[in-house]
Structure formats: C-alpha cells, structure tokens
Amino acid sequence: MPAFVNRRDIQFMLYELLGAQTLPERELYEDHSRETFDDAINLAYNLAEKYFAPHNREADLNEPHVVDGKVQIIAPVKEALEAFRQAGFFSAHHRYDLGGLQLPSVVSQVCHACFQAANIGTSAYPFLTIGNANLLEVFGSDEQKAKYLPHLLSGRFYGTMALSEPQAGSGLADILTTATPREDGTYSLSGTKMWISAGEHELSENIVHLVLARIKGAPKGVKGISLFIVPRFRVNEDGSVGEHNDVNLGGLLHKMGYRGTTSTVLNFGENGNCLGELVGEPHKGLMYMFHMMNGARIGVGMGATMLGYAGYLYSLEYAQGRPQGRKAGNKDPHSEPVMIIEHPDVKRMLLMQKAYVEGAFALGLQCALLEDDQLTHLDEAKRQEAALLLDILTPIVKAWPSEYCLEANKQAIQILGGYGYTREYPVEQYYRDNRLNPIHEGTNGIQALDLLGRKVIMGGGAAFTLLSREIEEAINQAREHEATAAWAAELEDTLRLVQQTTQELAEGAARVGADLFLANAHAYLEMFGHTVIAWMWLRQAVVAARALEGAKEADRNFYQGKLAAARFFFVWELPKTRHQGQILRAFDRTTTDMQAGWFA
C-alpha cells in the first residue's frame, strides 16, 4: 500500500517543532509520555492502513444510496468505524471520567490525521460525532450530558451539526426552521435542513442532530437563533433507543467527491411529531455553535491538509519510479531515460506540494496545540494568549489548507499525467474530495470576512499584536542561523507589510465605508495566510538547520528537504504578498465599481 502519511514528519512536527513531549508536565496529561503518544499514533496509523485506506476508492465508486427508505453504505465503512470505536478514538481527547484516553488535542489530531489521509469520507462520521459531543460537553445541561454524551463518546450514537437550509448557507440569519415550545419544556421542531453530512445512515443506533432553529416569536436575524438537540430516535430513560422522532430524509445529495460521507436534506417534523431539547438559553444558539467552530475549522483544514499530503506522497513515489525524458541538453538518443523526479519542473511540482502540505500540517498541529494551551497551559497568561491566537488563526487554518492543498492535489495529478487523470490512480479522487473544503464549514469568502472584519480588529487588535510578537520571535531565532537569516529578513518585511496594510485599512474604514473596507478581504486573507505559513516554515527551517549538523544520513536528507521546501516557500510563494498588499492599500475599487448589469 502506498504511503498516505509521513511518519517521520509526524515525529518532527510533534517533538522537534512543537515540543509535545513536554505536555505530560501538565496535570491533565500526567499519565502520558512520548511513548503513550506514539502508541496512540501507531495504533491510529495501523487501523487507518488496515481498515480505512482499503475501501477509500470503493466508497467513492459506490456512494450511499437509498433502498427501501434506508441509506445503504458499503460494509467496510461500518467495519472500519467499529475498529475505530473499539480502539477508543471516539473519546481519545476526552477525560477519563467520560471514558476517554485524555490525550492532548495535538496528539489526537495527529491520530485523526492518519484516518483522514487514509479515507476522508469514512473518517467524517466519527469526527462529526466528536464535534457534536464537544459542544454538548460545554453547553449541555447535566441532564443532557448524562443522556447523550456517554453514547456519543462510545460511538453508539453518531452526531451531526444541522445549520444550513436550502435558502440559507452562508447567511444563517435567514434560517426558517422553527421550534414551538411545548408544555413539557421540550420543543416541536419544523423545517428543512440541507447539506447535513452524515444526516442519515444505519451505521449507529441513533443520530443526534444539533439543530439551529428559531423559537416561535424570536427576534429576526442571528440574535433569534437557538440550538436544539434533536435525536433521530428518542432516547428512553434507560438509554435505550425509542420511537422515531419524525426526522425524515428528504434526499441524498450527489457530490463531486467526498462521496463516502452522506450529504442529506432532512425534513424535521413533517408529521408534527419532532421533539427537540433546547441547549442552554434561547437565542444564543449561534454563539454556542461558533464557540465550537474553531475545532471544526481546524478539522476541515486538517482534512484538506491530509488529502494534499496523501497526494504529495503518491506523486512523489510515482516520480521516483517513472522513467521518461532525458536531462535538458542531452541529445543522445541512445541514453536511457531518467526518472521524472530528476526534471526541474517535476521537482518544482513536488516542492510546491511539500511546501503547501507540510506548511499546512504544521499550522494545523500548532492550532491543536493552542487548543491544549488554552485549557492546560501552566501559565494563566499563556492560556489567555493561546485562546486569542487560536481565534485569529482559525480562519487561516480553515481557508489556507483548503485552497493550497487542493492546489497540491492538482499538481499531483499533473505529475502523473494521463494516469493521474484516471480513476485507476488515487490522486484524482483526492482532488475531487478536497474541492469541498473551500466551501463547507464557512466558505473561504466567509473566512476572509471573519479575519478582516472581526479577528484582526477585535480587542483593539490584541490578537494580531500577539501573533505579530510570536512571528517576531521566530524571526529573531532565524536571524541567528546563516541558513535561515535571509528568510527571516523576508518574513520581517512581509510582516511589516501586513501590519502597515492592516493599520491603513483600519484607519480608512470609517472614511471609505464598510463595503469597500471589506471588498478585498479575500486578498487580505491570502496575504495574511501566506505570512502565517511562512512563519511555520521559518520555524521548521530553524529546527532543521540546527539539527542538520551531526545528523545521520537519513535524517540529513530529511532536514535538507525541510530547508529546500522552506526555500521554495520564501522564494516562490511569499513575495506574492507584495501585490496583494498593493491592492489592499490602494482600497482598490475594481469589484465595488463593477455593476451587476455590466456582466455578460
């Protein structure tokens, strides 16, 4: 089986870059050690290889379909999820008292990454369930937690997030699903949700939908949205599954990729018999949902990253073994063809992939570590800082990998040429699967508005100031090494550009109005994203430069590769931010001046 993750790189990220081996110093993780972390990761890798990877293509070719009103999914999906369940991965990150393994977020994220790389479609079922459980753990009442959490975390029930409706995807303010209070304190739900991943299937005993809806008479807009637990089957006092709760499949959506995961239209309360339990207080549903969105967005970014990573590794193996063409300038027809990895343009496509996927991987794990830090860092100030950093990095960790690791998949196809375009090879599926990621969990356009319209200006720019400080620290360290000094200077210049641009935008906002202030938010996201990934690469390069001396042959190659990918990013990618800064600082009006009627 071809490699789908790079285990050496996992070691590098966790222990050489992020220092995860120090996490057991924290009380919550005191039973753990680098060994237990590695055991968990090895277990995940082995299960992913044995149960997830083998049916990745089969699930693509045989997507879920309805027979006699029931959603049929190929058998290996359930087998894989049963292995996942038995190994305890539903609750890997949760506390012992919830039946969990109490692993740090950054370690459980690596475990998940193995499953995502092997089979993104099958791994979506447990990850949605875990996200659902996480929300209930924070905002559910004691009673709700007792009723649902153990079953979600044991993998007996699966979960969904039911936000979008046919007429309201990015614009949740306009959702129409309504909740009518009943005398017993529950609510009667009515409405249609769309794009609900894992919304209907027979993989688990029950499905717990977390549904956004308006309580009758609630204020219009986002401040009138509440959150409800709406199980597919009602749950009896003893935890057994009772009668059907009038949540009905309206239809399956047929996607370009990501086909292993059902995507559904769900009709709630067609027969007036759909009961939901309010979570927390009325009208605060969107806030609860957003609170959990950081985690979900890291998950999407990591999924995009691992698809990119799997494609990179596959195309690398192919390039190493495919003879074709000769070195430029070699006109001797009797010479043998070289492996295509020797061609500079193929190296470019491989370096590009490596720079994208390993940069994104570092960022995803950095964000997971911030999740740990905000809860468990020994220093209270650092906990607060971690929360702030996570807030500002969330739009980046979702949008950047979903854009650039999709691009990586495009390059993987190109390296395989015609082969890459056929369904006999995996890379075209990665590309199709990955195309979802810029869309769901908040489109990248929404991420851009979140970044420029909220995150960088919130608290007087507190998060941005903090992030700048972190980046400056990396720059200072990189300055001290000959191998990295030039890149440190390059990143410093870029950071100044981002700071200056941000300041000019903020100062000009009142003058130009909200529409123009936000008009080029996507260019801002691009510029900011590249700067953040350059930060990741500078840190990786410093680690590699330090470790290179005295390293063994295999390690030397690995570190040289890190330095080469860093170089690629600094020379070929980061300078693109100059042009974005130009557009932004000019408050460019190309899009706002354009009239809808002029298109044709």
Between CA 270 and CA 415 the distance in angstroms is 51
User: In angstroms, what is the minimal distance from the CB of 62 to a second copy?
Assistant: 14
Length of the chain: 600
Contacts of 94 (CB under 8 A, 6+ apart): 100, 101, 102, 133, 137, 153
Contact 383, 282 (CB under 8 A): no
Between CA 335 and CA 509 the distance in angstroms is 64
Between CA 56 and CA 76 the distance in angstroms is 10
Q: Report the b/e string of 523-560 with b at 16+ CB within 10 A.
A: bbbbbbbbbbbbbbbbbbbbbbbbbbeeeeeeeeebbe
Contact 361, 355 (CB under 8 A): no
User: In angstroms, what is the minimal distance from the CB of 139 to a second copy?
Assistant: 23
Between CA 48 and CA 112 the distance in angstroms is 9
User: In angstroms, what is the minimal distance from the CB of 388 to a second copy?
Assistant: 25
- Of the candidates 384, 316, 269, 455, the one whose C-alpha atom is nearest the C-alpha of residue 6 is 316
User: In angstroms, what is the minimal distance from the CB of 292 to a second copy?
Assistant: 20
The smaller minimum CB distance to a second copy, of residues 141 and 414, is found at: 414
Contact 191, 176 (CB under 8 A): yes
User: In angstroms, what is the minimal distance from the CB of 475 to a second copy?
Assistant: 21
User: In angstroms, what is the minimal distance from the CB of 551 to a second copy?
Assistant: 13
Contact 445, 403 (CB under 8 A): no
Residue 11 β-bridge partners: none
Write the single-letter amino acid at 229.
I
User: In angstroms, what is the minimal distance from the CB of 371 to a second copy?
Assistant: 27
* H or E element that contains 132: helix 120-139
User: In angstroms, what is the minimal distance from the CB of 15 to a second copy?
Assistant: 16
The smaller minimum CB distance to a second copy, of residues 94 and 522, is found at: 522
* H or E element that contains 284: none
DSSP 507-538: HHHHHH-HHHHHHTHHHHHHHHHHHHHHHHHH
The smaller minimum CB distance to a second copy, of residues 235 and 505, is found at: 505
Between CA 112 and CA 288 the distance in angstroms is 24
The smaller minimum CB distance to a second copy, of residues 87 and 548, is found at: 548
The smaller minimum CB distance to a second copy, of residues 333 and 550, is found at: 333
Contact 570, 487 (CB under 8 A): yes
Q: φ, ψ for residue 282 (rounded to 5)?
A: -60, 150
The smaller minimum CB distance to a second copy, of residues 418 and 550, is found at: 418
C-alpha separations of 377 from 107, 298, 416 in Å: 15, 20, 45
Residue 207 β-bridge partners: 158
Write the single-letter amino acid at 270.
E
Contact 73, 63 (CB under 8 A): no
User: In angstroms, what is the minimal distance from the CB of 379 to a second copy?
Assistant: 35
The smaller minimum CB distance to a second copy, of residues 111 and 516, is found at: 516
The smaller minimum CB distance to a second copy, of residues 68 and 424, is found at: 424
User: In angstroms, what is the minimal distance from the CB of 201 to a second copy?
Assistant: 18
Long-range contacts (CB closer than 8 Å, 24 or more residues apart) made by 7-11: 7/45, 8/558, 9/358, 9/361, 10/41, 10/110
The pairing of beta strand 206-215 with beta strand 70-72: unpaired
User: In angstroms, what is the minimal distance from the CB of 122 to a second copy?
Assistant: 19
Q: Scanning the structure block, which residue is given the tokens 């789908």?
A: 4
441 is catalytic: yes
Between CA 296 and CA 301 the distance in angstroms is 9
Token pair in block for residue 328: 């430029």
The smaller minimum CB distance to a second copy, of residues 95 and 579, is found at: 579
Q: φ, ψ for residue 327 (rounded to 5)?
A: -60, 145
- CA-based torsion, 213, 218, 222, 228: positive or negative: negative
Task: Give the active site residue among 441, 490, 526, 573.
Answer: 441
Residue 179 β-bridge partners: 189, 215
The smaller minimum CB distance to a second copy, of residues 164 and 366, is found at: 164
The smaller minimum CB distance to a second copy, of residues 152 and 355, is found at: 355
Q: What is the set of active-site residues?
A: 441
